[in-house]
Chains A and B, each alone.
Chain A
Amino acid sequence: MTALLSLTDMEVRFGAAESMASAVDSVSLEVKSGEIFGIVGESGCGKSTLANAVMGLLPGAAHVDGSAKLQNREVLGLDEKSLRALRGDEMSMIFQDASASLDPTWPVGDQIAETIRAHRKVSRREAKQQAIDLMTEVGIPDAASRYGDAPHRLSGGMRQRIVIAAALANQPKLLIADEPTTALDVTIQAQVLQLIRRLRDDHGTTVVLITHDLGVVAEICDRVGVMYAGQLVEVADTADLFAAPRHPYTRALLAASPGVPTESRRLATIPGQVPAPSDQIPGCRFQERCPRRLETCMTTPHREPVFPNEVACWNPEPLPAGMASPTDLLGEK
């Protein structure tokens, strides 16, 4: 499989030249064609900023460096016109709150048709028909009669389906879903995740799923990247990540998630606090909270090209017996 989206040294900074704070700090990763790639991390770790940077939707005050290639085509630094041609066509995005990402004054169907007509030369009637087909495909019953409804007449789950239908209207190669299920209750959340997976299976759409919910990751992601304080700290296959987290932060994050209640009543916590983006930290950004800290961690940041199952740590958790990481294999050669 080839890389559909490849990010190299992505850097997003806000503020004036001297006091610039990095919201995203040298993130490199590859998303393979047709996979569902999860990006997890806590609030403010830069995952949404990263997604908006790829879409070219950050406000003017943001400085973006590095490279983001969609099918070997650089998308950073494109002018507004070329970006507009890409957005909604080659790459689409779903936002956190579906209720807020639909215009309250527009009929829902028209918002899907608008996306089609922004990129394809089709008549109003054709666009409407396509929109109704899409609404049916994402599971809206009696789509034709729902077409003219205002967003407030639909439930949250239905609204998210409309947003997904609009995002998929032009069969994009890449779909970035920024916390698509956060505003939904658990049942609807499962339905929407299933829908995303089914659409990936049917159309081969590559999905980048941004979330802070490890349960969502476990449910549908093929691979996961973990972000901490603007940096990508670990990339692994979902199964491997849950079975054997290697970065101390990933391990702590997994330990802190509420699973099946066991004998211990309290959830594990991570001591300390996330450093502010403006903090100048030599070495690893997780050093202060890390139980496995070494001398090197205090002085030198670990920056490795991101391989599958790569971890940005000087002293990662050892692999359990029987599992081999690609870097270990390279080392043996």
Chain B
Amino acid sequence: MTATIVAPATPQRRSKRASNNAVLAGAIILGLLALVAIFAPLLAPHDPETVVADQVLGAPSLEHPFGSDALGRDVLSRVMFGLRVSLLVSLAAVLVSTAIAVPLGLLAGYFGGLTDTAISRVLDMVLVLPALLLAITFIAILGPGSTVAALAIAVIYLPILARVMRSSTLVVTRNDYVLGARARGAGHLRVLIGHVAPNALGPVIVQASVLSAFALQLEAALSFLGLGTQPPTPSLGGMLSDGRDVLSQAPWVEIFPGLTIVVAVLSFTLLGEGLRRAFDPKGVAA
């Protein structure tokens, strides 16, 4: 007789699996959205900016699955191109922000003392300002547009990402292998880039993917207010603004870009949350 030993599904195990599923689901949805965004020129059935007079506020049909807007433009095509802009702006913003935040957080966390105080206090000054107010100030100075919106979003998230990097650097720096590397003759720069940074990046990656969701929302909000991407270039936020005026006659103009934002934000959040759990050494989600 042979007995089969089945490992019990402990809470840790289950949570690990759940987090894997979340990462997978987030990644798949995000991947699909990204594909749509990248290949929008090939996939879109119509030109997103062509005005068709006899199609004004046309209901969803086979020809226009998402209907058409107040100027007779195809909503599906506009959603595809809008997604392209929104993803590009939010990802570029978060990438730029991360690229600046990582070295700042590293320096602050590793050297501590005056370096830390100098970097942290400056970042705190950015952190105390409300995000939207900061973005609007930027746009008031530099003028509206997607590039300025991306820049504003990058500045807003800089202190958050730098703080996360700083605290994980603080933890990593205390490890014996950092002291060990120095005892073997490695200089500060080598220790920082070779040993501290790779070990401290995890939480920042998680934070960046969560912030991407917020960046997408913020970009939509700015475009909704007419401060981000400028017409006639389609953007999800801008489309929400267009749809608001015709909400009672043609809800599809509002609903489809709105749903797209929801799905994109959800997939970023799933990905971020799943990564967070995967990186969490305790394996138990808080």
Interface set of A (CB-CB < 8 Å, partner B): 55, 57, 60, 80, 84-89, 92-93, 95-97, 100-106, 111, 114-115, 118-119, 163, 166-167, 169-170
Contacts and interface: CB of A to CB of B under 8 A. Distances in A.
21 contacts: A80-B187, A80-B188, A84-B185, A84-B186, A84-B187, A86-B185, A88-B183, A88-B185, A93-B180, A95-B179, A95-B180, A95-B183, A97-B176, A100-B176, A100-B177, A102-B180, A103-B177, A103-B180, A104-B177, A114-B186, A115-B184
Given A93-B180, A163-B180, 17 more contacts: A57-B179, A60-B113, A80-B187, A80-B188, A84-B187, A88-B186, A93-B183, A96-B176, A101-B180, A103-B181, A103-B199, A104-B199, A105-B199, A106-B195, A114-B184, A119-B185, A166-B180
A279 to B, nearest CB: 28
A92 B184 contact: yes
A57 B183 contact: yes
Contact of B184 (A60, A80, A88, A96): A88
B70 to A, nearest CB: 54
B198 A105 contact: yes
Contacts, number: 76
A167 B195 contact: no
Nearest to A170: B185
B13 interface: no
B179 A114 contact: no
Contacts of B188: 80
A57 B182 contact: yes
A60 B110 CA distance: 12
B175 interface: yes
B195 A118 contact: no
Contacts of A167: 183-184
A223 B181 CA distance: 29
List the 4 closest A-B pairs by CB distance, nearest first.
A88-B185, A101-B180, A88-B184, A100-B176
A70 B190 CA distance: 26
A119 B164 CA distance: 34
Given A114-B194, A118-B190, A102 B183 contact: no
B179 A166 contact: no
A97 B179 CA distance: 12
Interface in B163-182: 175-177, 179-182
Nearest to B187: A84
A249 B184 CA distance: 35
Contacts of A166: 180, 184
Contacts of B194: 103, 106, 114
Contact of B181 (A55, A96, A104, A114): A114
A85 B182 CA distance: 11
Contact of A95 (B176, B185, B198): B176
Given A102-B177, A105-B198, A106-B195, A92 B183 contact: yes
A49 to B, nearest CB: 13
Contacts of A103: 177, 180-181, 194-195, 198-199
A124 to B, nearest CB: 14
A319 B263 CA distance: 84
A124 B9 CA distance: 46
A115 B195 contact: no
Contacts of B179: 57, 95, 101
Given A114-B194, A118-B190, A87 B185 contact: yes
Output the residue of B181, B186, B198 with the most chain A CB within 10 A: B181
A161 to B, nearest CB: 14
Contact of A87 (B183, B190, B195, B198): B183
Nearest to A51: B183
A57 B199 CA distance: 21
B203 to A, nearest CB: 15
A183 to B, nearest CB: 11
A101 B185 CA distance: 14
Contacts of A86: 185
A170 B184 CA distance: 9
Contacts of A102: 177, 180
Contacts of B182: 57, 84, 87
A101 B177 contact: yes
A119 B78 CA distance: 60
Which of B113, B177, B182, B195 has the most chain A CB atoms inside 10 A of its CB?
B177
Contacts of B199: 103-105
B180 A118 contact: no
